[in-house]
Structures are given as C-alpha cells and as structure tokens.
Chains A and B, each alone.
Chain A
Amino acid sequence: MAKRDRLSGNEAVAVALRQINPDVFPAFPITPSTEIPQYFASFVANGQVDTEFITVESEHSSMSAAIGASAAGTRALTATSSCGLAYMWEELYIAASNRLPIVLALVNRALSGPININCDHSDAMGARDSGWIQIYAENNQEAYDNMVQAFRISEHKSVRLPIMICQDGFITSHAVENIELLEDEDVKAFVGEYKPENYLLNPKCPLAVGPYAVTDYYMEAKRSQAEGMRYVETAVLETAGDFARLSGREYGLFEAYRLEDADYAVVMIGSAAGTAKDAVDELRADGEKAGLLKLRLYRPFPAEAIAEALKHVKTVAIMDRAESYNNHGGPLGADVMAALYRAGSRVLAVNYIYGLGGRDVRVESIKEVFAALKQIASDGRAGEAYRYLGIRE
C-alpha cells in the first residue's frame, strides 16, 4: 500500500532512511543537505530508529567513520554537499578501494569559489573517477526511490562498491512536492538484512583492512574494483525490476523521453530534465521531433546503451551542469561523445555548460538549445561544440 504525502527531497530521503533503519550514520551538516541528518536526528531522538548516529566534527571524519563502521561489518551511510564532498575526496577513493558498500546521500551544490550554496553538479563530477556508483534524481520521488534501492545495488555480491544517491540542491532538496511513499515494512523487506562476509568485528576470523600495496599488488587491486563496476548495470536493473514490482514505478539506466523517433535530443542529468520535458512537449505540439535522454546512472557510464538510444537522432546537445576547464567541454559531454564515437555514430553533437551555481534554466532556455540543434542539422555542421547557456558574456 502506497501512502501519498508532500515532502521535500531532503525529507523524502530522510524518510527512506528511517524506513531502512541503517546501522551507523556519521553526520556533519552542510547546506543544502543539512536537513537529512537533522530529520534523522529527530528519528533517533524519538526512538523511530536505533541507528548509531555519530555527530562528527567534519565531513572528512564522517566519511572516515563510515569507512570504519562499514569495515566493521555494519551498514553505514552519510550525507553531504559541495565542499563537504570535496573535503572527503581522499576518503572516497579509500572507501571504494576497500570495496565498502557505503551509501552517500549527496545533495548537489556548486563548489567554492565564489562560495555558492545553490545547485550544480561540480561536486559529484569532481568525484566521478573515485570508484563510486553515482545515481541521480530528477525530483523528490526519484530521490526517495533511488535511496530505497541504493543499498541493494551497493551491497550486491558482485559489486560491493559505495554509492552516491544524488539530488539537486534546493531545486529538489528543498522544494516540497507530492510523493508516494512505500510502507515501512515493505521498504525493510526490500532492502533486507546486511550480511557481510569479511569484517573487523567477526569473532571467528580477524580481518586486516587498508594495506600498504605497491608495484606488486596495487594494479590488481584497481583492476578488481573495475571488475566490480562491470556488474553495476546488472545490479541496477535487477534492483529496479524488483522495485517496479513493489512500487509500480519503473527505473532503468536512463529515461528516454519521447526519444524513439526524435530528430533532436538533449542529454542531461538531474532536475533540469523536468524542465526539458516541458520544452519537448511544447515543441512536439508544434510538430518538432524533440526528445530527451535523462541519465540516471552516471557512474559507471552506460555508454553502449546511450549510443544505441541516440543512434537515430540528427543532432544532440549534451548538457553539463559543471565545468571541466579543458577548453573543450564538460564531463558528461566528454563521456557521451566518446560513447558516440566508439559506436561509430555520425550524429552532430554539441556540449552546453548550464545552470552553474544555481543559474536558472527555464523552458525557453531548453527551447533555445533545440532551436540551435535544428539549425545545426540544416547547416550539416556543429560549429562551436563547447557552448554556454544562459550566460552574460
């Protein structure tokens, strides 16, 4: 039985965590993710969960403590944003290399400087090579649903890698929307019990974690992590299948929105995809064949499936809510273009940087992108492939 409610993205994630009742939650506040540990603290205070809630003194320590708790044999998670994630950077790599299924509720926010509390994806994009799985949400329902699915993906026997469940700062984290929640018992049963195989607090067999490994073993350790990444797509789809049976809500690696017969497509991540859907609908009403590919799983990158989904379009705009400072484009642009190239695609592609530091993106902004895509198709050449949207030059 589903329950209808009205929640912000942060509260939705906190409710999912209450339903999961995870083992250890080290927490440190940072805007705009602060509400997640704040709501959770009230669940602890009111006895709605019996999680070990550790109020640490920094994000570096929240991830360090999560690593300790996860290595010890418990289900551990934390939440953060922006500079908090940047401060954890060293620890992100260690969590992944130790194959610890830690969950991180990431509320995407611009990195400093200038200091800015609003949404972009520069925080998560900076961590894209850290060995974490990254799943993004368009709205609060997806943020909730993704959190319910997170532990099963991360703890999957063939995966055992940490996972970031991302939502857009303020736009999703603070906006209150209608939402369908699952029953507490259903969430608990869906997530299941955590049964680690090797862990520090196993009285039958002590374990040593975090070795010094140099030229003779380091590379094999890294290769084994990459092997874990190979199974993520399967784990994501398996989990999504079970979740659909429970909730009736379908998830995949990405959402193809009116893309099947599209001539022009945008590829994007996060809340702005909702805006893009409106733009697509308006253009479709005018007879334009516009479509959208909204990425859900960004790490690992489902390159083949994306290239396949885009193979019929004439032109594509890849939308990056983060800079990469290479004079060439953003991180998503690089990934998608590489995927197209490998698939032998001849589609004309451009890459937009948009929405940095919370810069508004409206239906008109996206329609402007589609207009450019149409022009490129008629010109037969992409022109400048590295573009900015909504900027005062």
Chain B
Amino acid sequence: MAYNFKDTMNKPERLSSGHRMCAGCGGTIAVRNVLRGLHEEDKAVIANATGCLEVSTFTYPYTAWEDSYIHNAFENAGATLSGVEGAYNLMKRRGRLDETYKFIAFGGDGGTYDIGFQSLSGAMERNHDLVYVCYDNGAYMNTGIQRSSATPLFADTTTTPVGKNSNGKIQNRKDLASVIAAHDVPYVAQTTFWKNFKDLHLKAEKAIYTPGAAFLNIMAPCPRGWRYRTPNIMEICRLGVETCYWPLFEVVEGKWILNYEPKNKKPIEDFLRPQGRFKHLFKKGNEELIEAFQKEVDRRWEELLFRCSK
C-alpha cells in the first residue's frame, strides 16, 4: 500500500497525552511515530526497558499506553518480549487466540547499547518476530546525563565532564546498527525525525511487518542532555543527517541501502555548534578536536557508502 501522510497522521494515538515526559522530548516523538507504523486493526504488546519513557508513561495507577505494555527491568526488554512472543506463538498454536498481535520493544541507548545488549543480541539471534526500537539520545538521561557507549566523542556528560584535563568523552560512539546488522536479522534501519517523518513511518511499518527480528535505531535528541533550544529539535535532526553524523539507511536481508545522500555534505560544526554539550569544542585552541570529530564522521560515512555499494 502506498504511503499516505494524511492517513498515517490521522491514525489514533497509541501513546496518549498526559504522560510526564519533558516537553520536546525526542523519545516521545519516536514512540508516537513508530506506533503509527502499526495497522489500526492489529493489536500490540509493547515492552519497555527502564528509563525516562517507562517511569514517565506508567506511573501507577496511570498508564499512557493504549496497547498492552510490560516493563520488566533495565537490561531485559529483548528477553521479556521474547517470552511474550513465545506465549503468542503457543496461544496461536493451541487455538487460544484469533487476533493478530505485533511486538515492539522500546529502550533508550543505555538499555540497548549497554546493559541490555546481551538480551537484545539474544532476541535478535533467535529471530523472534518482534521489533526492538532504540530511541538513542546518546546518554543515560534518566539518571541525569551520564555517558553511554552511544555518547558521541567529546560530549560533555556528568560522567565525562569537561575540565582542565578533560575534553569530554574520549571514545567514539558504538555503531550499534551495524552490530545488529551483523546478527543477520531480516531488517535493520537507522532513522531520525526527518522532513515529514515519511522515512520513520515507512521504516517502522517495515520493521513491524517484516517476519522475524527487526531493529530500528532512532536518533532522538534530548533537549536537557544536548542543551539546544528545545523548539529546534527538527533542525538538530536535519543537521545530524546533512552532516552525515546520523545517516539514514536500511539493511534488508543483508543488503545495505542508503536512503539519503546529501548533495553537499555539511561540516560537522553545523551539528555540534547548537548543542551545549559540545560548547567547549568551539573554544580557541580546540580546532583539532573538531577536526578529529570530522575525521571519524568521514571515515564512517565512507564505510557506509562502501557497504551500500556507492
């Protein structure tokens, strides 16, 4: 079925308003738009790793989730949803359920790249029919902006603070989408809030309706942690894509597909400058830090082009 923006946006919300996420939170935008990938007639079970999303959307006795929902712990959304999907298979096999259910896990980068990595890897390798969505805001935001393995180089976080002897995080971020692609799952994609969200909506639908395990990595800026002007989230995401810091791609049955190639690749400063977490990079004398950052972005971009046979 052809993509129709109006129809997609007119679907009923499956994460209701009244939850306690911050105004302008990227995580919430990611969730609401991923859920638009569900066909209206289908039911879903959502699993959620501990994090901002969980504590702010299911504070007893209130839930913002229209679908069935399970939060278990920080590191096991993948395993928990494996069990739910297993239960579904069993109920179908024994004729105890007629309805179609889809299974979606949401985790921040802490619950996905780091503490939940084993559980995620297991769920992907076993190829359960589920989607794991990482809303990647590049740090442990729920506990107060500590670094994760998704935190970009030189970011100022509360465990990689900038100081006399520190320029922020000293390591590059883990390329998790590639790591999951190496699990040989049927569908992996990376996206963010781009233009009118068609890219995200289509990838969510594909991920949900591709049989077997799928992984979506969504750059979901956190205004508190990244320290940009909250209303500018779309601009931040656009710059992430235009600088090739956050490329949009898919890996379908092992085939790498680049979804967007900027005509004029913007310099990485454009992405870094509006963000307070990179403020120190623009001090006089720190030019080589930006150069180092640019070099790594270029290296990864070239590698991606190669994988996508560009």
Q: Chain A: which residue is nearest B87 at the CB level?
A: A72
Interface contact B87-A61, CB-CB below 8 Å? no
Interface contact B122-A58, CB-CB below 8 Å? yes
Interface contact B87-A68, CB-CB below 8 Å? yes
Residues of B within 8 A of A26 (CB): 79, 82-83, 86
**Least Cβ–Cβ distance between A27 and chain B, in angstroms:** 11
Binary interface encoding of chain A residues 197-218 relative to chain B, with 1 for a CB under 8 A from any of its CBs, else 0? 0001111001111111100010
Query: In whole angstroms, how far apart are the Cα atoms of A12 and B66 in the complex?
Result: 44
**Least Cβ–Cβ distance between A88 and chain B, in angstroms:** 10
Residues of B within 8 A of A55 (CB): 126
**Least Cβ–Cβ distance between A304 and chain B, in angstroms:** 34
Query: In whole angstroms, how far apart are the Cα atoms of A50 and B274 in the complex?
Result: 57
Binary interface encoding of chain B residues 98-126 relative to chain A, with 1 for a CB under 8 A from any of its CBs, else 0? 11010000000000000000110110011
Interface contact B68-A208, CB-CB below 8 Å? yes
From 50 to 88 in chain A, residues with beta carbon under 8 angstroms from any chain B beta carbon are 50-52, 54-58, 60-62, 64-74, 76
**Least Cβ–Cβ distance between B59 and chain A, in angstroms:** 5
Q: Chain A: which residue is nearest B54 at the CB level?
A: A212
**Least Cβ–Cβ distance between A326 and chain B, in angstroms:** 29
From 132 to 175 in chain A, residues with beta carbon under 8 angstroms from any chain B beta carbon are none
> Any chain B CB within 8 A of the CB of A255?
no
Residues of A within 8 A of B79 (CB): 26, 56, 60-62, 64-65, 68
Interface contact B87-A201, CB-CB below 8 Å? yes
Main secondary structure of the interface of A (DSSP, over half): mixed
Query: In whole angstroms, how far apart are the Cα atoms of A94 and B71 in the complex?
Result: 10
Query: In whole angstroms, how far apart are the Cα atoms of A94 and B89 in the complex?
Result: 24
**Least Cβ–Cβ distance between B76 and chain A, in angstroms:** 4
Query: In whole angstroms, how far apart are the Cα atoms of A342 and B47 in the complex?
Result: 45
Residues of B within 8 A of A203 (CB): 43, 97-99
> Any chain B CB within 8 A of the CB of A35?
no
> Any chain B CB within 8 A of the CB of A180?
no
> Any chain B CB within 8 A of the CB of A233?
no
From 31 to 80 in chain B, residues with beta carbon under 8 angstroms from any chain A beta carbon are 43, 45, 47, 54-55, 58-61, 63, 65-73, 75-76, 78-80
Query: In whole angstroms, how far apart are the Cα atoms of A65 and B70 in the complex?
Result: 12
Q: Chain A: which residue is nearest B66 at the CB level?
A: A206
With A26-B83, A68-B47 as contacts: A210 and B118 at CB distance below 8 Å = no
Interface contact B60-A69, CB-CB below 8 Å? no
Q: Chain A: which residue is nearest B69 at the CB level?
A: A208
> Any chain A CB within 8 A of the CB of B263?
no
**Least Cβ–Cβ distance between A54 and chain B, in angstroms:** 5
Q: How many Cβ-Cβ contacts under 8 Å join chain A to chain B?
A: 164
The listed residue with most A CB atoms (<10 A of its CB), out of B54, B68, B86, B97, is: B86
Interface contact B58-A69, CB-CB below 8 Å? no
From 234 to 269 in chain B, residues with beta carbon under 8 angstroms from any chain A beta carbon are none
Residue among B65, B84, B122 making CB contact with A71, cutoff 8 Å: B84
**Least Cβ–Cβ distance between B22 and chain A, in angstroms:** 16
> Any chain A CB within 8 A of the CB of B94?
yes
Interface contact B86-A65, CB-CB below 8 Å? yes
The listed residue with most A CB atoms (<10 A of its CB), out of B60, B61, B65, B89, is: B60
> Any chain B CB within 8 A of the CB of A23?
yes
> Any chain A CB within 8 A of the CB of B194?
no
Q: Chain A: which residue is nearest B93 at the CB level?
A: A50
Residues of B within 8 A of A207 (CB): 68-69
With A71-B70, A74-B90 as contacts: A208 and B65 at CB distance below 8 Å = yes
Residues of A within 8 A of B94 (CB): 50
Query: In whole angstroms, how far apart are the Cα atoms of A54 and B128 in the complex?
Result: 10
Interface contact A76-B125, CB-CB below 8 Å? no
Interface contact B97-A68, CB-CB below 8 Å? no
Query: In whole angstroms, how far apart are the Cα atoms of A74 and B83 in the complex?
Result: 10
Binary interface encoding of chain A residues 19-50 relative to chain B, with 1 for a CB under 8 A from any of its CBs, else 0? 00001101000000000000000000000001
Residues of A within 8 A of B85 (CB): 68
> Any chain A CB within 8 A of the CB of B91?
yes
**Least Cβ–Cβ distance between A53 and chain B, in angstroms:** 9
Query: In whole angstroms, how far apart are the Cα atoms of A60 and B76 in the complex?
Result: 8
> Any chain A CB within 8 A of the CB of B81?
yes
State the 9 A-B residue pairs at the shortest beta-carbon distance, nearest first. Answer: A68-B83, A65-B83, A57-B122, A72-B87, A61-B79, A210-B71, A211-B60, A64-B79, A64-B76
With A57-B125, A212-B71 already in contact, 10 other A-B pairs whose C-beta atoms are closer than 8 Å: A68-B47, A68-B80, A68-B83, A70-B83, A71-B70, A72-B91, A73-B91, A201-B88, A201-B101, A208-B68
* Sampled A-B contacts (27; CB under 8 Å): A24-B87, A50-B93, A60-B75, A64-B79, A65-B79, A66-B83, A67-B72, A67-B80, A68-B72, A71-B84, A91-B72, A91-B73, A91-B76, A200-B68, A200-B70, A200-B87, A201-B91, A201-B101, A203-B43, A203-B97, A206-B67, A207-B68, A210-B70, A211-B60, A211-B71, A212-B60, A213-B60
